[in-house]
Structure 1
Amino acid sequence: MLPIPNLDDRMFEEMLQEARKSIPKLYPQWTDENAHDPGMTLLELMSWMTEMQQYYLNRVTEKNERKFLKLLGVRQREAASAVCEVVFSGMDEQLVLPQGTPLQAMDQQFETLQTLRLIPARLEKVIVRTETSAGDYTSNNDAGVAYYAFGPKAQKGAHLYLGFDRPLPEQTEIALTIKLFEDYPVAKGGHVHEEQEAFVSSAQVAWTYAGSGSKGRAEAWHPLEVVSDGSLHLSQSGELLFKVPSDMQPILLYPADDKPRVWICCTLEIEGYELAPKIQKLCLNSVKAMEQTTFSEVSTFDSSGEPGQSFTVSSYLAYTGLHTIQVQEQDGFWRDWSTVSELSACGPDDFCCEMQQDSASRTTRIRFGDGKHGSIPPQGADCVRLIAYTAEFDYGRLVGSSNGLPGQTFELPRGRTYKLGSMLLQVGRRPKGSDSVVWDDWQSVDDFDNSSSTDRHYVYDAAAGLIRFGNNEAGLIPPKMTEPNIRFLALQAGGGDRGNVKDGMVAAFTNGHPDWSGITMTNPFPARGGAEAESLEEAKLRAQIELNAPTRAVTAEDYEAIAKATPGLRVARVKAIPLYKPGLRDYPKVKAPAQMTVAVVPYSENDKPTASQGYLETVRRHLDRHRLLTTELHVIPAAYIKVTVHAVVVVEPQYKQDAQRVLRELRQLLQPMDHRNGTEGWRFGRTVYKGDIYGVISRLKGVVYVQDIWLDAEGTGMYRDAGGDIQIPPYALVYSGDHEVELISQTDL
């Protein structure tokens, strides 16, 4: 970083004295330097002005710092809304909760993020069966206590059975939320959704259900129709969306054989998990909810230009709120269309449409005319809009009317944190020769620096609660109108750490409905992700971190840092070996140009964590997005060398029977990683010197001296040198064998 010079390095008195000393040389005829002389007054004035200029030149204001951050591509983050899972129960029949259904958590409002079909079924039993055992984990699942989905070893053929009190509806999309235990010492790198296509699961599961059998059999297991698997074969928390193709058959299943139940089964078909999946919660009838309040929202549709088009929206606000229909004309502006009860009353040139609502599915449907009864929307992408807003926001969505002057500002209601990403603002104008108002979309920008005189831009100042417009040089001025012509089409409020409510706090509907009486809800886990708007200091700190984070894999350190950040994986250790490819001998004497080999160690509870092929392929695909084009990349699992220590140790008499102390220290030294805290163990490729063993034993209390040590080793690529030390390959780690330690009392010598 370049040093920042201090421009304000001279004080007023210093500049004044320097000027006075220059008078005899520059103006010998100036002999009166007393304070009453007008020339001295001018010198004092100039010195003061120079000092002020230096002060402002040396001062970096918050405005300057924001501009510097903008040059780095960093902007302050707005307040983030908390998200939680909400589970519903107590339904007697199938119901639909549309997207955006408001829920209450004391004084905080949450809204569902997707439409949910509530199924009147209850998860009664959770059974895990392996080749050697069968266990009932229903109480664990109800209490949110983690349990292994396929046992601690997760071997092929293990089953996870889920028993329900009644058959699940056929040919209906059903969501099963899977929450895995995530509290491990090594965190996952990023979010797998960022590179969903690059993730390859280490194992593979199959979902089946108990249904009617064939050829005289009472029941049989049939495959479920999996629509989507957000858990990626139980590799992460996510949502399983499935359909039951045919009727389900109640059966008895040990050890839950008290009564027949309907079952679905998850079978581990291909093993290979680095970390056996532990389930914390399985939830039916659950949906994500976000802390926010929607005042107005927009649903867009593509128009084919054909007669009789219809569009359907599944949204709470579209079903319960007020509506405005907009269609985009060929010239790019938007026109409001009216809604009528019957299209038959409309003429061929009338801008009207018909609206219907389905109470069973909570959907809203709009239908346009055929050119005889009602006009046809022109063909185009995203050129039809359904704007839905609350009755309370009917007047509040009007921001104001433009006076046609530059630099106009409009104040928004205080006390709420508005989401910039949800804002959609329109400005109306009346074309020449027309009595109707048409509308144009305006875009939100951080500032007017890059705005031209024709750009429809505005700035939302969250701190001041203002909307600012341009001056016809930087940003267009909204056209003048006497009636309100600036309005919001979409607006949401929310965000802040107050939304991180505790578990069990989301407990009621904000607006009750007769069909929802008797339905109970809860959030089994606390809401997460709520944060206040980022301060300038926080943004500066984040900019430093992001600038230091590698985005291109050039050096070995770059490869290691990027590999550890592989989305969806817990990468415990990485070793990048430049100019090496698998199978190369006599490295580093012999090198392979343009080759990079990366050895990875997954976090695991095993003594020798070994990466599966899916794990290695996921790391390779992630690194492949960042490597140089001329570099050939190889991702391999770390090799393990078994090292066994044979030692004769002389100790004080009272420690003669305490050989376990020595064995514990040797196992602590010779291990690939410390599973208790996820820290690294033996360094990749480091020679196992006898001196290391001497040192760790000699430090123990009661050890007089080490009489003799010799080392044995097993593994590919290792060898013992002339001094008895174990040389291992650069991609290898060591682990402990069955050490043999003989303790001799000092008095026996």
Structure 2
Amino acid sequence: MLPIPNLDDRMFEQMVLEARKTIPKLYPEWTDENEHDPGITLLQLMAWVTEMQQYYLNRVTERSERKFLKLLGIHPQPVKSAECEVTFTGAAQQLVLLKGTPLTAMDLRFETLGTLELVPAAVEKVLVRTETAAADYSSNNQAKIAFYAFGAEARKGAHLYLGFDRALPVDTEISLHVQLYDRYPVGMSQAEVRSGLTLSTARVVWSYAGAGVGGQSESWLPVENVSDATVHFTQSGEIKLQLQSEMKPMALYPADDRSRYWLCCTLEEDGYELSPKIEKVTLNTVRAAEQETFSEVTSWNSSGEPGQVFEASSYLAYTGLHTVQVRDEQGRWRDWHIVADLEACGPADRCCELHQDSVRRTTRLRFGDGTHGLVPLQGAKQVRLVAYTAAFDYNRYVGSTKGLPSQTLEISRGRVYKPDSMLLQVGYIPRGEDSVVWEDWTAVDDFDNSKSTDRHYVYDAGEGTIRFGNNEAGLVPRKAGEPNIRFLALQAGGGVRGNVKAGLVTGVAAAVTGDPGVSVTNPFPARGGLEAETLAQAKLRVQRELAAPTRAVTAEDYEAIAKTAPGLRVARVKAIPLYKPGMRDFPRVSAPAQMTVVVVPYSESDKPRAGKGFLQTIKMHLERYRLLTTELHVIPAEYIKVTVHAVVVMEPKYKSEQRAILLELKKLLQPMDRGPGAEGWRFGRTVYKGDIYGVISKMKGVAYVQDIWLDAEGEGFHKDGAGDIHIPPYALVYSGDHEVETIGITDL
């Protein structure tokens, strides 16, 4: 027998007794504590109400907790797939690897998330040339040892050269993946990066070694930059390039042992907050996820014109079985027949042709012109191609509808599917017709907001079932004698097992690539794989999300939101209300409806300074959250150099310990945290001589500090009569070349 939990830890009698014991302390004039006293009656009433509340609160079930989370807009997150970059090598000829190409890592299946044009070339040499040096980092690139892409200073005019063993093809999309070093103390925000939201102050341009005028001399020709997900080498990502003419071999120092084919990346405009360090740059790289696709849908808009042609480009569309669906006048889906030739079709026949290009590996649909084959009606997402594996052909039919409320069917068969990948259809034969029409049904978390006419169903990943409504909350599917419930789109995968180590994604079938010499690997580990979120984890997440600001009202809101700007490493932020850049006598004089945000990027420099791209990115990010009545300014921090001059009297054996004092002063006067025990100087905080006295006096061997005076350099500060340095609210300090004179106590 299961133990019965104690739902109430405080009983009625206990609460009444505790309340009566407090009466003499709180109200000594209350002397009548007998049952007839109205006050005692009220105490008993409150104790009874409290006991009932505790009892029912302790009876909150898991289902109730999920409802409470839903009221807060929180749903437990489904399983997530791990992702990684995979690199293909060994191709003998140019190939096309379609989106969804299957790969294996031990017993796990991965699929590529994009189409890759595989070119028969490899990166042999990686060179970096600056105004003062030239270095060969090819071995670093092979061993994944980080090196500076444009030198430690990243000055304008620096070059990154990539040498290939053979010429890259012309008019072909070349895919380069750049993995930057990212293990810094300040991480990059994981917020979703929207297109155009992250800007870079620095700018790079690409060129390649080709034929000059007349095709005789060597020349550096510009490359058409198709896309740059690295945002000019500020984050890891893919760069897609395209050449307009043939490459020419060239011997380039310090890799001038033989001629190679070169791509050159030139830093045309500097301004990096953190000089980029490359761990690995690879060719023929695409992103892959741990998942298995059983069926997928590709949709197109129809113009309603005769002879329409649609093209799909995916692995499953090219290798799988196919079903073509088109909407009818009532918005229902009908399966159309795939024929070899539309000439054999009549004007009312629902048919189309399906052809495949073996070179580009594309799948093309062609519809009729109204004479030979029916023309699809005009509309958005009016035509779809369903592609599925041969093994899934039978399993895609879940079962038949019984016409009963809350019908439940088992679908998992030992697999956990990804809810966001599901597309379910239910079919029926309309009265007076002999062909089946299909309607899409939508997955929901529950039927709370479902009306009686909504085609909704609930997928329970834990039980591996789907459940339909009851005609009050969710529509009941029509009864059918044959299987009429099927999946059009379905994927499995996800979980922590997909977070495989580097080098484990190695399996790719020769039948998939068409070239037995092609191999694949993942240079870096797969990340991001998560199990489905438990209820306890969801409750912890809601606490964090409710505490996170969603509107920028207070200064603390601005500071917290600025640190989440996507694609940036924001080390420090200071929001100054009622301040406008250029104001004097602040805070004695203030500016209404003004908010100035001072930002400090993470940098290895003593004076980290945000560039215009960094500032603009944060401003664009904050603009989404600020109040309409607030004028926002985002500025870099100002730096005041503070130099300490001190005369310190030491114990005789510590007389030469000047270096230790200098290190402590440098640790005190710095704009950012540098190591354990170090703290960055607070924005706008005055540098008092007492701060310096305190730091030096507590050091071992110091007898006393004889004299201290401070010097400062910069804009906006002033030095008072006591020798203290007052800095503006948007400023920080950094250390100058401190001068410390030590005198032995016996020398006085």
Give TM-score, length-normalised by structure 2: 0.92
Amino acid at match of 1:614: G
Mapping of 1:9-24 within 5 angstroms? Answer: 10=11
Measure, in 2, the Cα distance between the counterparts of 1:361 and 1:390. Answer: 20
Query: Unmatched 5+ residue regions in structure 2?
Result: 1-6, 17-34, 37-49
Superposed CA deviations along residues 719-738 of structure 1, whole A, max 9, x for unmatched, are 11121111111111111111
Find the aligned partners of 2:442 and 2:180 in 1 and give their Cα distance.
41
Secondary structure at 2:608's aligned position in 1? coil
Supply the AA of the counterpart residue of 1:311: F
What displacement does 1:176 show?
0.7
Q: Deviations over 1:616-643 (max 9, x none)?
A: 1111111111111111111111111111
Write out per-residue CA displacement over residues 302-346 of structure 1, whole angstroms, 9 at most, x where no aligned residue. Answer: 111111111111111111111111001121100001111111221
The aligned amino acid for 1:496 is: G
CA displacement 1:109-154 (0-9 Å, x = unmatched): 0001111111001111111000000000111111111110000000
Question: 1:346 and 2:345 equivalent?
Answer: yes
For the residues of structure 2 that align with 1:52 and 1:83, how far apart are their CA atoms? Answer: 50
1:80 matches 2:80: yes
Distance 1:622 1:52, change over 3 A: closer
Distance in 2 (alpha carbons) for counterparts of 1:132 and 1:540: 57
Q: 1:52 Cα shift?
A: 10
1:674 positional shift = 2.7
Task: Describe the superposition over 1:4-63 as per-residue Cα deviations: whole angstroms up to 9, x where unpaired.
Answer: xx9885479999xxxxxxxx99xxxxxxxxxxxxxxxxxxxxxxxx99998456411111
Q: Please say if residues 368 and 375 of structure 2, whose CA atoms lie closer than 8 Å, have aligned partners that are also in contact.
A: yes
Distance 1:691 1:652, change over 3 A: same
How far off is 1:414 after superposition?
3.1
Cα distance in 2, alignment partners of residues 272 and 56 from structure 1: 62
1:672-715 deviation per Cα after TM superposition (whole angstroms, max 9, x unaligned): 11344797411111111111101100111000111111111111
Cα distance in 1 for partners of 2:133, 2:532 equals 51
Distance in 2 (alpha carbons) for counterparts of 1:57 and 1:563: 39
- Deviation of 1:215 (Å): 6.0
The 1:639/1:437 distance shift into structure 2, 3 A limit, reads same
Q: C-alpha distance in 2, partners of 1:371/1:546?
A: 56
1:204 aligns with: 203
Q: Secondary structure at the match of 1:516?
A: coil
User: Which sits farther off after the overlay, 410-419 or 126-135?
Assistant: 410-419
Listed as ranges, the matches of 1:96-111 within 5 Å are 96-111=96-111
In structure 2, the partner of 1:119 is 119
Secondary structure in 2 matching 1:162: strand
- Distance in 2 (alpha carbons) for counterparts of 1:677 and 1:292: 42
- Matching of residue 623 in structure 1 with residue 641 in structure 2: no
Aligned partners of 1:146 and 1:181 also within 8 Å: yes
Q: For residue 260 of structure 2, what is the amino acid of its counterpart? A: R
Q: Secondary structure at the match of 1:195?
A: coil
Task: Provide the rounded CA distance (Å) in 2 between the counterparts of 1:350 and 1:617.
Answer: 58
Deviation at 1:391, TM superposition (A): 1.0
SS state at 1:387 partner? strand
Q: Please tell me whether the aligned partners of residues 510 and 516 of structure 2 are also in contact (alpha carbons under 8 angstroms).
A: no
Please state if 1:547 is matched with 2:546.
Answer: yes
Equivalences for 1:495-506 in 2 at 5 Å? Answer: 495-506=494-505
Deviations 1:427-467, CA, capped at 9 Å, x for gaps: 10111100111000001111000111100000001111110
| Alignment RMSD (CA, Å) | 2.0
Matches within 5 A, 1:421-500: 421-500=420-499
Kindly provide the amino acid, as one letter, of the partner of residue 642 in structure 1: K
Counterpart contact for 1:163–1:262, Cα < 8 Å: yes
The CA distance in 2 between the partners of 1:174 and 1:123, in whole Å, is 12
Partner of 1:61: 61
How do 1:317-716 residues align onto structure 2 when only pairs under 5 Å count?
A: 317-509=316-508, 512-513=511-512, 515-676=514-675, 680-716=679-715
2:665 maps to amino acid: L
**Distance of 1:479 and 1:157 partners within structure 2:** 70
Distance 1:680 1:51 in 2: 50
The aligned counterpart of 2:147 is 147
Which secondary structure does the structure 1 equivalent of 2:343 belong to?
helix
Taking the TM superposition and a 5 Å limit, the aligned residue runs for 1:302-317 are: 302-317=301-316
Counterpart mapping for 1:191-340 below 5 A: 191=191, 194-214=193-213, 218-340=217-339
SS of the equivalent of 2:541 reads helix
Aligned counterpart, 2:137? 137
CA distance in 1, matches of 2:194, 2:653: 60
Compare 511-520 and 299-308 and name the one that shifted more: 511-520
Distance 1:679 1:550 in 2: 28
In 1, the alpha carbon distance for the partners of 2:605 and 2:512 equals: 53
**Alignment-mate amino acid for residue 486 of structure 1:** I
CA, structure 1 residues 335+9, in 2 after alignment: closer, same or farther (shift >3 Å)?
Answer: same
Quick one: structure 1 residues 53 and 684, their matched pair in 2 at CA, closer, same or farther if it must change by over 3 Å? closer
In structure 2, the residue corresponding to 1:509 is in which secondary structure?
coil
**Aligned 8 A contact 1:82 1:497 in 2:** yes
89 and 511 in structure 1: CA distance in 2 versus 1, 3 angstrom threshold: closer
Contact conserved, 1:428 with 1:438, CA < 8 A, in 2?
yes
Report the CA distance between 1:195 and its aligned residue. Answer: 3.1
The answer to whether the Cα contact below 8 Å between 1:102 and 1:511 also exists between their aligned partners in 2 is no
**Aligned equivalents of 1:61, 1:718: Cα separation in 2:** 62
How many matched pairs?
A: 711
For residues 388-415 of structure 1, give each alpha carbon's deviation from its aligned partner in whole angstroms, at most 9, with x where no partner exists: 1111111111011011010100001332
Inter-partner Cα distance in structure 2 for 1:358 and 1:678: 64
Question: What CA deviation, in whole Å up to 9, does each residue of 1:351-375 have, x standing for no partner?
Answer: 1111111222221111111112211
Residue type at the aligned position of 1:61: T
Alpha-carbon contact 2:8-2:51 (below 8 Å) kept: no
**Letter of the 2:733 counterpart:** V
- Counterpart of 2:185, as a letter, is P
For residues 425 and 289 of structure 1, do their structure 2 counterparts lie closer, same or farther at Cα, with a shift above 3 Å needed? same
What secondary structure is seen at the aligned counterpart in 1 of 2:371?
Answer: coil
Which residue is equivalent to 1:184?
A: 184
Quick one: which amino acid aligns to residue 342 of structure 2? L
- Cα distance in 1 between the residues matched to 2:561 and 2:67: 29
Q: Is the 8 A contact 1:573 1:680 kept in 2?
A: no
In structure 2, C-alpha distance between the alignment counterparts of 1:419 and 1:599, rounded to whole Å = 43
Q: Over residues 576-635 of structure 1, what are the superposed CA-to-partner deviations in whole Å (9 max), with x where a residue is unaligned?
A: 111111111111111111111111111000001011111111111111111111111111
Structure 1 538/511 Cα, relative in aligned 2: closer, same or farther at 3 Å?
farther
SS in 2 for 1:179: strand
- Going from structure 1 to structure 2, the CA distance change for 1:549 and 1:330 (only over 3 Å counts) comes to same
Q: 3-state SS of the aligned residue for 2:213?
A: coil
Query: 2:32 corresponds to which residue?
Result: none
Specify the code of the residue in structure 2 equivalent to 1:72: L
With over 3 angstroms needed to count, the CA separation of the structure-2 counterparts of 1:236 and 1:91, relative to structure 1, is same
Q: Is the contact made by 2:10 and 2:51 (CA closer than 8 Å) also made in structure 1?
A: no
Note the alpha carbon deviations across 1:203-234, whole angstroms, 9 max, x for none.
00110111111168611111101111111111
